[in-house]
Amino acid sequence: MAQIAIIGTGAWGTTLARLAALESIRRAQTQNGGASTPALAGVTLWEHNPERASEMQWERENKAYLPGFPLPANLRVTTDLAEAVRDRDIIVLVTPSQRLREHARALAPHLAPGAVVVCASKGLELGTHLRMTQTAAAELPAGTPIATLSGPNLALEIARGLPAATVVACEQHAAAEQVQAALSTPRFRVYTSDDVVGVELGGALKNIVAIAIGINDGFGYGDNAKASLMTRALMEISRLALAAGANPLTLAGLAGLGDLIATCGSPLSRNRTLGLELAKGRALDDVLAERKTVTEGVTTTRAALEMAAALGVELPVTAELASVLFEGKSVREAVTALMVRDPKRELEGL
């Protein structure tokens, strides 16, 4: 099994680290006829805070972001980035999107030749509106295989061992297959794709929609409005992705529609619950200030509008959400603005 490093100890990073470590043990035991045996491969998990890293390493639990799920014996937590990625075949970046560039820059000198870097963060970089693989590519050595991992992947459900699926996309198919082989388990099915653009944009942009759906649910606008909003927002995502060069079928798959359904429908979704809080009349800054984790849909809303402007694509739902989040527009005014737009044919125009 591949040697894997996970950079970032949030709920999703820790879940991926546990998944890889437990699968390594399972495969080792299977090869040994079911008898207990040391794992064939270990997993390193990088945490920037020495105190938290020490606590996780010795208490074998991430109490801050994934409490109640013991860390396997073959999972090692470290604050030394060079040590974390040394001789690793696969390095998975699971950091906030606005910090991914600095982490890619920091690990670049320590990559083993041929190592695959996987961006499991979902977002767009503010100012550049670059996707995460593009951001990483700007800092990593030329020729480094860079993949993205995205799908309907709520961390807590996967940590519990509930069935789930995801997509790993990379322009180098062999690298995608390498990640697929490393992360696939009997409860976590990994598909491959060469459509990096579609997989990344589907994963990033659905967070915007989930905020809007939370607001919809909080105001009690009903299931008709919810279904209409999700469908029209998916059209927006698809148009922007296609303008950026994505395969339209990707947006109907796990990284598009699949992730949209999960993020908009689950009480575990940070973006949806943010929308619910905003519907109560709370200020955005107050809600964000009390959260330990990053709600990526907020910054992605700004970056998506930057990207859309550069590509000449109109995003009505995203634009109205931005006016609510950042300009003080009321939800009712935003809904009215969407409802009274000029009549359109459904499959032509927005």
Whether 123 contacts 303, CB under 8 Å: yes
* Triad 256, 130, 120: Cα angle to 5°: 55
Beta carbons within 10 angstroms of residue 166's beta carbon: 25
Exactly one of 63, 122, 206, 226 is catalytic; which is it? Answer: 206
Sequential DSSP letters for 150-218? ESS--HHHHHTT--EEEEEE-SSHHHHHHHHHHH-BTTEEEEEES-HHHHHHHHHHHHHHHHHHHHHHH
Neighbours of 189 (CB within 10 A): 16
280 is catalytic: no
Cα 70 to chain centroid distance, Å, stands at 23
Contact residues for 255 (Cβ-Cβ < 8 A; gap 6+): 150, 151, 167, 169, 193, 198, 199, 200, 202, 203
DSSP string, 114-136: TPEEEE----B-TTT--BHHHHH
Residue type, 239: R
Cα dihedral: 130, 165, 245, 350 (round 10): -90
Residues 294 and 282: their CA atoms lie apart, in Å, by 18
Question: How many Cβ atoms are within 10 Å of 102's Cβ, its own excluded?
Answer: 12
As annotated, the active-site residues are: 206
